[in-house]
Structure 1
Amino acid sequence: MAASTRQFTTLSVLLLSAVLLSSSPTLSGAVDTIRPGQSLSGNQTISSANGTFELGFFSPGNSSRSWYLCVRFKSIPRKTIVWVANREAPLSDPASSELRLSPDGVLVLLDQSKVPIWSSNSSSSTVFRRPKSTVAVLLETGNFVLRDGPAEASVLWQSFDQPGDTLLPGAKIGYNGTEGKSWKLVSWKNREDPSPGLYSLELDPSGAVQVLIQRNGTQTFWKSGEWNGQIFSLTPEMMALHEYGIDGFFSSNTTYFAYVDHEVGGLSTMWIDVSGRWMWQKWIESTQEWSVFSFMPRDPCEVYVGCGPFGTCSTHITPYCGCLPGFEPTSMADWSLGDTSGGCSRRTLLQCGSNSSAGGGQDGFLKLSNVRLPTSPVSLTASSAQECRQACSGDCSCTAYAYGSDCSVWKGGLQNVKQIADGDPPVTGPVGDLFLRVAASELPRPVKKKTTFLPALLGAVAGLILVVLLLVVSMLVWRCHRRRLMAKALATQGFLVPFRYRDLRSATKNFSEKLGKGGFGSVFKGTLPDASVVAVKKLEGLRQGDKQFRVEVAAMAAVQHVNILRLRGFCCEGAKQLLVFDYMPNGSLDAHLYPKSVENVLDWGRRFQIAVGTARGLAYLHEKCRECIIHCDVKPENILLDEAFQPKVADFGMAKLVGRDFSRVLTTMRGTLGYLAPEWISGVPITPKADVYSYGMMLFEIISGRRNSEEPQSGRPSFFPAWVVAEVNVADDVGGCALDDGTDAEELRRACRVACWCIQENEGERPSMGQVVQMLEGVVEVEMPPVPRLLENHVASGEQIVYFLEMSFVSSKASSSSTVVSTN
């Protein structure tokens, strides 16, 4: 049976080659479709309908001689390949190679000798049974599909069913037992070679609904934890990815997870990197760069044998992999392309034994303090460290030893060594002092004793002078090295950077350009060595120990959301405590809600975008962090705007820094007058609904363009709800006023109703921030709100208030000052 199958496959390939070698027309112009009999070769490409992706022959490296049939992004300048057909069979000459769609409806890739090296159906016995109406189309999703005719026709084959190292939104990993399909990601060998590498990302084959990262398909070193319907249990960071997520499908024969991206018009991918980590990235249009916003495992040193034999890993330098003392990379070319699996080799060969006459003296042991010990030790019986040392020294195959409660020795390459530094999280595996076997030339030179006083004195003076010179040079070199490391660390996404005070003082030009004064301190503009602009906040009035401050800052670093101001780093040197944030070029929301000129009034589209984005950020703080975070000071001054006017909730972390039991404080009132919920004054326990109230008051301001609380003018009340009552009583009826052409009336009406719901005096009647987001986005219907209790004695119905807010928005468009709106 197997022999007949092989004969049939061989015959099929020969017949297919004969068909494909016949003349066929090539494509002309940029299209998205290949039709039966057409071919693609050389520098010809096809593009998706809107030009986001293109398919053609590309070389991943700048100087590579290997070519591949790839799908890559076309709409961005950064060369990003997302799918490769011939991963294990590169082409040397794309001009004489061809991708053909045969008359029988099969995609076949022919090399320069016209030998088929890849087929869309190479393993199927139905290779010649495709209908002649079959076409190959590159979709706008990046999926290259083979289908029977028009767009609604069934898909016969698709590239999403043969993923490489990357998933685009809509693609999936898992298996389909009914159709005999399986999907997993396999890393590239290095950054210029797409052939299958060491690491894979797949669903647990044992049946547990979780994702695994494996080395060589056998060694599992990271697990996501089981799926609970929203996230993987051991990966709570996924709750921070509001616009990105995973949809799951489970049955007796089919289980898969599909990558989804809810952001309209955005570009994003997830992939298994050559370093063995599961990465997520988003294209940032303003910087024209990819931004990595999440990766697992969080500690790169948890990747199994990531740095190879005799390599060492450290999370405090970039790149993470280095070599043990006395060793150097086995292949610098591979290391420069991200492939460190080859590890390191000795600079000087061991003499082994006592043959010191061979040219270098006896081998010795170099002490490496506080390291994660290598895997696979051999235990020996020894009553002391000296006996353990002698046991290793007498065995030429012994490369290192460690003595703790017992004697452990290692033979061959040392794997998974990690240098532990202060502040590192707990590591898996034993930690201790490792004694590494090195050649005599790699050992520190012993100090020789002088037999006379004068030579000793001269030597001491010369040594002192040399030490002073070395210290001066070392300090200069260290400063330059420190700056380079800081610049590299800033380029590494997802890591919190510990800054020195003098580096931040230099970056801010001695804190000369003040941006403003926020909660707990002043904010200054600064420029880091990598030319990125940041905002540096000098904290004032805090009384926290160094350790507690670092713990709280680490908690703030875990808060990652597109509508939360990102914490870049921190400084903690005694009383000098500073935080470093992304710089927001458009400042705070209040500067745009109350501009000095009518021309700068925000249109409704941007106001609504800011309202929805702020609600999403607060919903994340309340509902999707490991610990619920109550902002306690929601107001326009604490909403910052980036270059695209996307809102970022700021100053949310300082209330948490003051004390972790902040949500249980009953008597100490925090926040800003005009935005405080009634429960602050009544003394009941504070819940996230206090932020909902403050958000509602701010939403009044966004709609009306009028401050919540300001100086009285012409005898009018200064508190906003009281002003609403006064203005509603001026109006004679409700209805009949047309909005300007640029305003979505339904959005405005929803926003007005939501604002009234948020300021209900009884917190139980207020919606959660998650419900606020759904109401603003139109996911759920917003009922007419009841009259807030503080207004119910003055206003007949909620409809009056909603109508007045709509008119107040029209008034704000007509003038930058507060104008009374009335109807006839």
Structure 2
Amino acid sequence: MISLFLLLFQGCIAANNNITPSNPLSQEQVLTSSGQSFELGFFQPNNSVDKYVGIWYKDITPRRYVWVANRQKPVTDSLTSLTVGTDGNLQLLDGSNKVTLWSTNVSISSSNNTIAELLDNGNFALKDGLTGQNLWQSFDHPSDTLLPGGSFGVNSKTGERRVLTSWRSENDPSPGSFVLGLNPDQSPPQAYVWKGSVPYWRSGLWDKTTFIGIPDMDSSYSSVFEIKADKEQGTVYFYANPYNQSVFNVFLSSVGYLQTNVRGGGDSLTVNWEVPSNPCDIYGTCGPFGVCKASESPICSCLKGFEPYSDEEWSKGNWTRGCVRRNELLCEANPNSSATKNRGNVDDGFWKMDRMKVPDYSEIIDIDSSQCQQWCLNNCSCMAYAVVYGIGCLVWRGNLTDMQEFSFGGQEFFLRLTLCIISSNT
């Protein structure tokens, strides 16, 4: 009977999913969510000396970590534990209880009732034990992985910028070089992967169901991904809510690959989408006024009516400075002409391009889409336009950057050129 009681008691401890002021988590213990989907505990990436507190899938091998608390301050002693402190916050103190390695650091009115619980969606929540209200949650502080129910985005009123940040390397969960987030200065929003402060990849604008720069993100994804915007709150957040997937995540790797992962056969994860999948996916590969097509060699070419900025650089595969226009538009050559002021450039037209990832830095013009072409023609600064379902009239005034011709999908794109260039074979 005593042995049976001990076994039952140990089973209860193993299944525990919360931390309280009287029940801290030691380095030998693991929290398990109620549905047995996730675990939380101390781990050593690839058996390194340093330890971290993280969350991982319980039944996925090899182990996949989806959140790390103390990314910048690893545990280096055996006495550190994760506990609810006297102020009600979760705290990770070193063995001497003098140095805070990590804390939730929120203002809590009643510190005696807080409880930290690992939920079955992978969220780790600090709650008021009496009301059940969330005081803090890991979903608001993602690492390199987005789980269903989690989000990334911006709050323009508070200045919050919620992003995914890659690990420094596969062995080091400290913040790495790549960041995934929404651009706070664009509407409708689009997602970027930045390498440092420089764009590395972008999704294209959100058309209310998909990102238009991801051709295989068709309308069937509308029930999987969504962007919720609240103008009064100043918030714009991207969510992933897949159906028929017991395991799903969006993951940003240490070398800049953005992936969606699903459960494969058995207890493994399978990559079912990834960018960059070719050099054209990397931001600005062909420079200003250059267009990238992965199926061609070389992959970069100048837009019709444009030529390489430097023939020597272009011939060597250095496309970063892009292309320049061969002939000025009429309104550029004669900015004070009556044609420019009153009715635009009558000698200009538009060259249609299909299956395009349209350039960055577009502007939405609030007019009927049928008037988009004429609006562009009447404004000399307008270099191109596109009419996108779900968004409307888009125009471009400056350099045309980060263009790609897809093998399928994409948008119709209309480039402004003089009529003589449109009718020529070059």
Give the TM-score category using the shorter length.
0.5 to 0.7
Secondary structure at the aligned position of 2:186 is classed as coil
Pairing 1:280–2:265 present: no
Partners of 1:372 and 1:429 within 8 A in 2: no
Partners of 2:251 and 2:259 within 8 A in 1: yes
Cα distance in 1 between the residues matched to 2:212 and 2:43: 40
Instruction: Give the equivalent residue in structure 2 for 1:112.
Output: 95
Q: Cα distance, 1:238 vs. partner?
A: 1.6
Pairing 1:254–2:235 present: yes
Cα distance in 1 between the residues matched to 2:62 and 2:222: 23
CA RMSD of aligned residues (A): 3.4
Q: Larger relative contact order (C-alpha < 8 A, sep ≥ 6)?
A: 2
- Specify which of 173, 195, 198 is matched with residue 215 of structure 1: 195
Q: Which amino acid aligns with 1:44?
A: Q
TM-score w.r.t. the length of structure 2 is: 0.62
Pairing 1:45–2:30 present: yes
Q: Which amino acid aligns with 1:257?
A: F
Instruction: Give the equivalent residue in structure 1 for 2:60.
Output: 76
Cα distance in 2 between the residues matched to 1:228 and 1:31: 44
- Specify which of 194, 212, 216 is matched with residue 237 of structure 1: 216
- Specify which of 27, 37, 40 is matched with residue 55 of structure 1: 40
Q: Cα distance, 1:406 vs. partner?
A: 5.0
Distance 1:30 1:220, change over 3 A: same
Partners of 2:156 and 2:184 within 8 A in 1: no
Q: Which runs of 5+ in 1 are unaligned?
A: 1-26, 307-314, 317-369, 374-401, 411-416, 419-426, 432-624, 628-824
Q: Which amino acid aligns with 1:57?
A: F
Distance 1:43 1:244, change over 3 A: farther
Q: Cα distance, 1:78 vs. partner?
A: 2.2
Q: Cα distance, 1:207 vs. partner?
A: 2.9
Q: Which amino acid aligns with 1:81?
A: Y
Q: Cα distance, 1:211 vs. partner?
A: 0.6
Partners of 2:210 and 2:219 within 8 A in 1: no
What are the Cα deviations for residues 167-212 of structure 1, in whole angstroms up to 9, with x where unaligned? 0000001123456543111111111111111111110121331111
Distance 1:408 1:73, change over 3 A: closer
What are the Cα deviations for residues 729-748 of structure 1, in whole angstroms up to 9, with x where unaligned? xxxxxxxxxxxxxxxxxxxx
Q: Which amino acid aligns with 1:134?
A: T
What are the Cα deviations for residues 305-343 of structure 1, in whole angstroms up to 9, with x where unaligned? 99xxxxxxxx99xxxxxxxxxxxxxxxxxxxxxxxxxxx
Cα distance in 2 between the residues matched to 1:304 and 1:234: 12
Instruction: Give the equivalent residue in structure 2 for 1:174.
Output: 153
Pairing 1:195–2:174 present: yes
Q: Cα distance, 1:133 vs. partner?
A: 1.5
Give 1 or 2: higher helix fraction. Answer: 1
Instruction: Give the equivalent residue in structure 1 for 2:399.
Output: none
Secondary structure at the aligned position of 1:88 is classed as coil
For 1:10-159, list aligned pairs within 5 A.
Answer: 28-61=13-46, 63-93=47-77, 95-114=78-97, 115-121=99-105, 124=106, 126=107, 129-149=109-129, 153-159=132-138
Cα distance in 2 between the residues matched to 1:243 and 1:227: 11
Number of residue pairs aligned between Structure 1 and Structure 2: 295
Instruction: Give the equivalent residue in structure 1 for 2:353.
Output: none
Secondary structure at the aligned position of 1:89 is classed as coil
Cα distance in 2 between the residues matched to 1:405 and 1:300: 21
Partners of 1:71 and 1:81 within 8 A in 2: yes
Q: Which amino acid aligns with 2:184?
A: P
For 1:745-824, list aligned pairs within 5 A.
Answer: none
Q: Which amino acid aligns with 1:259?
A: A
Secondary structure at the aligned position of 2:207 is classed as coil
Cα distance in 2 between the residues matched to 1:154 and 1:173: 22
Partners of 1:60 and 1:81 within 8 A in 2: no
Partners of 2:209 and 2:221 within 8 A in 1: no
Distance 1:226 1:45, change over 3 A: same
Q: Which amino acid aligns with 1:233?
A: I
Partners of 1:38 and 1:102 within 8 A in 2: no
Secondary structure at the aligned position of 1:187 is classed as strand
Secondary structure at the aligned position of 1:36 is classed as coil
Q: Cα distance, 1:37 vs. partner?
A: 3.1
Cα distance in 2 between the residues matched to 1:403 and 1:180: 39
Give 1 or 2: higher strand fraction. Answer: 2
Cα distance in 2 between the residues matched to 1:160 and 1:245: 18
Partners of 2:261 and 2:273 within 8 A in 1: yes
Partners of 1:238 and 1:245 within 8 A in 2: no
Secondary structure at the aligned position of 2:208 is classed as coil
Secondary structure at the aligned position of 1:295 is classed as strand
Q: Which runs of 5+ in 2 are unaligned?
A: 1-11, 286-293, 301-307, 324-407, 411-426
Partners of 1:277 and 1:300 within 8 A in 2: no
Cα distance in 1 between the residues matched to 2:309 and 2:122: 56
Partners of 1:243 and 1:263 within 8 A in 2: no
Secondary structure at the aligned position of 1:293 is classed as strand
Secondary structure at the aligned position of 1:160 is classed as helix
Deviates more, 1:221-230 or 1:134-143: 221-230
What are the Cα deviations for residues 606-631 of structure 1, in whole angstroms up to 9, with x where unaligned? xxxxxxxxxxxxxxxxxxx849xxxx
Pairing 1:163–2:142 present: yes
Distance 1:304 1:177, change over 3 A: closer
Partners of 2:89 and 2:103 within 8 A in 1: yes
Instruction: Give the equivalent residue in structure 1 for 2:342.
Output: none
TM-score w.r.t. the length of structure 1 is: 0.33
What are the Cα deviations for residues 41-74 of structure 1, in whole angstroms up to 9, with x where unaligned? 222111100111011001121x311210001111
Partners of 2:183 and 2:190 within 8 A in 1: yes
Secondary structure at the aligned position of 2:205 is classed as coil
Distance 1:429 1:135, change over 3 A: same
Distance 1:98 1:263, change over 3 A: same
Bigger Rg, which one: 1
Kindly, what percent of the aligned residue pairs are identical? Answer: 32
What are the Cα deviations for residues 542-562 of structure 1, in whole angstroms up to 9, with x where unaligned? xxxxxxxxxxxxxxxxxxxxx
Secondary structure at the aligned position of 1:39 is classed as coil
